[in-house]
A and B are shown apart, each in its own frame.
Chain A
């Protein structure tokens, strides 16, 4: 069947190493899903393009412009790849703001691959102290392998980029496995509300 993959990238320059990593993760995940006999519907979201819309949603809750469709895609995603540059030792403000305007419950049970880029390997634990807790809070299923790419990982380092490639492939395989097992949300409180009698349970009548 067709699986929906949404890649969210918070890189700011064009091209950015964050987008580059996002693309490699996306391609690797597509391949891993193909190996499992799945077709993939991919949407890559450059947060920069909806930066103002994210702030509009933050200030008024109204998701203007393309953001509305992006939030719908997030809701329907079987897998999410989330890539941020490291700013001030954490995810970027734009990245966090986007996930702050994603409706609570959207990522409940959704497999998420967390990834980050930085100029130095010293920030690699950002995946563990910033991204993973945020996605755990969202009740997402975060794949065990996170991918951090510092400048030296792109080929200048001792391994010539081989280690990064291996890491990307491993993370993508893990994400693909979870995406295959992901089932679409069945509970919609607007479609099937809790009946009044159940709402009143335990209350004075």
Chain B
């Protein structure tokens, strides 16, 4: 089981001080948070991709490349990579480059982006969101697996004799997750390729999340990648912790009440009751997270949203200390004890390379 954090890269005013970080401060804070993630023993750091204020993460591979140079073990990922508005050729090139620089510590999560006006800035149309995600990813998938590609489709100029460089490291493309909160088409897509499926698990009641995940699991089995309970599932979550539950609630409430995404809406109590948001003691976070397994089955990756809504860097780093010291070690132990042997871990470059070499050996044996 992998544990990590994902960021949306929002620049938000701290409601308790009225201070808004500069873009530079926020960018540097994201790097500090990623380095801290490695320091406290987390496995994954994932950055969002946005091309509109108040977000700063418009250039994920630049940021992840920089973090790669300053870390040793951390897996660098995205949450999400816009498969709709990015040219799949550029994605193939940029992430293969990043994969080499990071010695294979790279995977990606594909997403569509839900802001209509962004699409035309990149020559696209949100009404074509699903077809864009399908066609673009299909091309990306080929570019990483075929040395020379001839291709013609609906959304970009044709390719004749095109080779995307650099080729993926060890000829093993980065593992891909597909993120969606409500689209059965995306769960179907992930299942077809045998890729991972990630649900951000933040705004949606668990009944909806479960429908989508069980669809993905069923179809994963249908397409012959393994049993439904061997499908590769990732979940989000958001937490705020202090030693005493009441202190966590008291400290987090102004951030919750003023957050751009839920301010003016439900109370903190309602939202923690109805969604996976957990504000309380480390033990409460442990219990709630273990509950995800009861709801969705054994899964491979748990990412937490920690740095949002204007929380100051110092607070976020404290949160990561608690996560790394008190929460994740317990979760690792508990999840490992409960996971049946036939359920795989999340693929990594090493495991994919090993699988590839095994497959090659088996083919030779067959001859």
Contacts and interface: CB of A to CB of B under 8 A. Distances in A.
Interface of A: 55-56, 58-65, 68, 189-191, 193-196, 199-200, 202-205
- Top 8 nearest A-B pairs (CB, nearest first) are A204-B153, A59-B265, A196-B192, A56-B266, A203-B135, A190-B211, A189-B184, A193-B184
B337 interface: no
A59 B273 CA distance: 16
A137 B211 CA distance: 27
Contacts, number: 84
Interface in B241-272: 261-262, 264-266, 270-271
Which of the listed residues B188, B203, B266, B275 has the most CB atoms from chain A within 10 Å of its own CB?
A: B266
Contact of B131 (A55, A56, A203, A205): A203
A193 B154 contact: no
B184 A56 contact: no
Contacts of B134: 199-200, 203
B56 to A, nearest CB: 24
A60 B154 contact: no
A204 B189 contact: no
Contacts of B223: 196
A196 B178 CA distance: 14
A60 B261 contact: yes
Given A193-B215, A200-B138, A204-B139, A63 B185 contact: no
B205 interface: yes
B188 A68 contact: no
B266 A64 contact: yes
B264 A62 contact: no
Given A193-B188, A193-B215, A199-B185, A64 B138 contact: no
Contacts of B262: 59-60
A188 B237 CA distance: 27
B205 A62 contact: yes
Contacts of B203: 60-62
A191 B219 CA distance: 10
Given A61-B203, A195-B188, 7 more contacts: A60-B261, A62-B204, A65-B270, A189-B184, A194-B184, A203-B138, A204-B154
